Amino acid sequence: MGNFLAGKVVAVTGAGRGIGRAVALACAAQGAQVVVNDYGVSVEGGEPTSEVALGVVKEIEAAGGAAVAVADDVSTMAGGQRIVDVALAEYGRLDGVVCVAGILRERMLFNMSEEEWDPVVATHLKGTFTVFRAASAVMRKQGTGTLVGFTSGNHQGSVAQANYSAAKGGIISLVRSAALGLHKYGVTANAVAPVARTRMSANVPMELKEIGEPEDVAALVVYLLSDRAREEKITGQVYTVAGPKIAVWAQPRELRAGYADGPWTPERIADFLPGTVGTDPMPMLARLEEMARAAAARERPNQ
């Protein structure tokens, strides 16, 4: 037991398994009272059961901690609100929310159906909004609070997970918007892009060179929720944690600009753009080429 989060109340979504479970256990071990939310679904999002959230509450209680289960679906406004309402009803305040819940429905873009797109975006992106929305209203009045969203390195793009990638990119913009909009109310917002061994990462078709355990991710989240991170004024950031590595992502910014003398025409742009503004080569495309080479050589590609 540590005391990094002594006296704090933290709600964690997707806290029944994998990374969310490790975050909930670590928060409780560091002194927080924890709302354990999990809809208890398969990787694809089906067959919900409330047993999964309850199981983690029992684990926390057995270790001497305090926790309460909420088995609602985060992709509904009512679900997000209930997580926050339960925190207030049980513990009287809400210091942090961590939105970890997620599902996968993999398909190439040209074959992807509405049933594969909508629930993935709803669980990740809307499921972060519903909880941030309800929590930020409370935190604004408290004058303090910390929001943590979960993104992925795949926000850079993905061959067969356009739905997941788009949702994860959206979460980064949502986190940065929360950081900006809530700055004057003392509320911080950051995103974590983890790489950890869970059921979700078990089927990645490549050898991950940098991967760790859910507990590595939990340690970073505990830090982000703590007063130590708040004292450092950490907000609007995206951190990767992969085993022993922690990395910060760059803020999006214009790379290179050029200006016209008069109005743009397609011809002027064709003459001007390639040599002056140019492009920013896509690292993920280079990785695709490495994967194609490895496939041709019958090797398992590295990432």
Ligand X SMILES: NC(=O)c1ccc[n+]([C@@H]2O[C@H](COP(=O)([O-])OP(=O)(O)OC[C@H]3O[C@@H](n4cnc5c(N)ncnc54)[C@H](O)[C@@H]3O)[C@@H](O)[C@H]2O)c1
Residues annotated as catalytic are 152, 164, 168
What does each C-alpha distance from 76 to 73, 116, 153, 286 come to in angstroms?
6, 17, 26, 38
Q: Please give the Cα distance from 73 to 127 (Å, whole number).
A: 8
Percent helix, percent strand, percent coil in the chain, to nearest 5: 50, 15, 35
Subset of 65-84 contacting ligand X (CB under 6 A) = 73-75
Among 5, 30, 33, 39, binds ligand X (CB under 6 A): 39
Among 8, 11, 12, 18, binds ligand X (CB under 6 A): 18
Decide if residue 219 touches ligand X (CB under 6 A): no
Subset of 152-171 contacting ligand X (CB under 6 A) = 152
Decide if residue 149 touches ligand X (CB under 6 A): no
Cβ neighbours, 10 Å, residue 183: 14
Among 27, 41, 178, 189, binds ligand X (CB under 6 A): 41
C-beta nearest to ligand X: residue: 18
Q: Please give the Cα distance from 212 to 250 (Å, whole number).
A: 22
Subset of 116-145 contacting ligand X (CB under 6 A) = 123, 127
What does each C-alpha distance from 209 to 47, 163, 243, 249 come to in angstroms?
33, 25, 10, 19
Among 11, 36, 52, 225, binds ligand X (CB under 6 A): 52
Decide if residue 212 touches ligand X (CB under 6 A): no
* Side-by-side strand order, sheet with 33-37: 66-70, 33-37, 9-13, 96-99, 145-150, 187-194, 238-242, 245-248
Among 34, 84, 179, 200, binds ligand X (CB under 6 A): 200
Residue whose CB is less far from ligand X, 129 or 150: 150
AA identity, residue 54 = L
Binding site for ligand X (CB under 6 A): 13-14, 16-20, 37-41, 43, 45, 52, 73-75, 100-103, 123, 127, 150, 152, 194-196, 198-201
